Amino acid sequence: MDEKKIPVIIDTDPGVDDALAIMIAAASEKIHLLGLTPVDGNVSAVHTHRNALDLVSFLGVDADVAEGSYDQLVCRFGRYATSTHGETGMGGVVIPQSDKQFHPLRAWDYIYEKAKEYPGELVIVAIGPLTNIARTLIMHPDIKPMIKQIVMMGGSTTRGNVSPYAEFNFYVDPPAAKMVFESGIPLVMAGLNVTLKTGISFDFISKLAQESGSRIGGMFNELVHGYSDVKINKEGDKASVVHDAIAVAYVIDPDKCETEEDRVEIQTERFLEGTWGQSKVVEGEPNCTVITDIDMDFYRDLYRRTVKYFGSLS
């Protein structure tokens, strides 16, 4: 492996924005994508696992897929974001079914083995609920000093999207998120407070796909247009908020992100109205780097590079 590349596992619940984030990671010259560990989240785990296998094959990415969690840490959640991602998670895009097989190890054992292989170097990009990561900590508590960093898309220091305060990924499995935030592992959080600032215009994506002329560039365009998390961006354009890509962007170049150090606690009390799964900033010693903004020129350039990279392979 090129020593300059960062060994990365993406823990994911694909999901349209997950698929786009995976594409950006796979195209980056700074990331060595070791594998994906799917989890129940945006859609049923049956679909997220299938999507992970199919994406890796379709993209031609040399990465493992290690079977992850089909339920949550404490209680079954079973509420999916199909209105945003479509019934299967890919927003209506049909990816050819792969004959790729799961890695022999389950997600938590796979993460542990890779942490031992890359001690102090491994970065986990967690862009779904944190169930797999929590199970890894339960099964392998000695892993903590081996992980360089967990960079996650989840939470919010402002408002939520499934309740007044809670963001979807943390809301799905708050006990898992709480365990991760109490682990002592260096954490970076890309929450709604930053992702909602980062809409990528439909016109920009369509132009990139058209210039590429490749099958994967076309899929990139179809994914964005089939994804219902649409906002009007700062320029007044209809835009897609690709939440999960911000976590990958941070790994590629953290200097392009503005951050602050906070102590974040995850609320797990159901009886507190609206706070189940809330990521609350409290007084105390910081346990998390919170991304507050990103250089949008840099971020848009990641999309250009990604489409160009996959276009060159077609």
Residue recorded with tokens 């949008």: 296
Q: What is the CATH number of the domain that holds 52?
A: 3.90.245.10
Q: What is the pLDDT of residue 253?
A: 98
For residue 189, how many other CB atoms are within 10 A of its CB?
A: 28
Q: What is the pLDDT of residue 6?
A: 98
Q: What is the pLDDT of residue 78?
A: 63
CB contact at 8 A, 167 and 173:
no
> Running DSSP on this structure, what letter comes out for residue 304?
H
CB contact at 8 A, 31 and 25:
yes
Q: What is the pLDDT of residue 229?
A: 76
Choose among 87, 210, 187, 80: nearest CA to 133.
Answer: 187
Distance CA 258, CA 163 (A): 26
Average pLDDT value over all residues in the chain: 92
Q: Would 143 be classed as within a structural domain?
A: yes
How many domains, in total, are found in the chain?
Answer: 1
For residue 90, how many other CB atoms are within 10 A of its CB?
A: 26
Q: Would 132 be classed as within a structural domain?
A: yes
Distance CA 171, CA 168 (A): 5
Pairing of strands 257-266, 279-282: antiparallel
Q: What is the pLDDT of residue 314?
A: 59
pLDDT beneath 70: ranges in the chain: 1-3, 76, 78, 82-83, 228, 271-273, 314
Domain assignment of residue 149, given as a range: 6-313
Q: Would 1 be classed as within a structural domain?
A: no
Which positions are annotated as active-site residues? 13
pLDDT digits 0-9 by tens, 225-271:
777 678 888 778 888 899 999 999 999 999 999 999 999 999 998 75
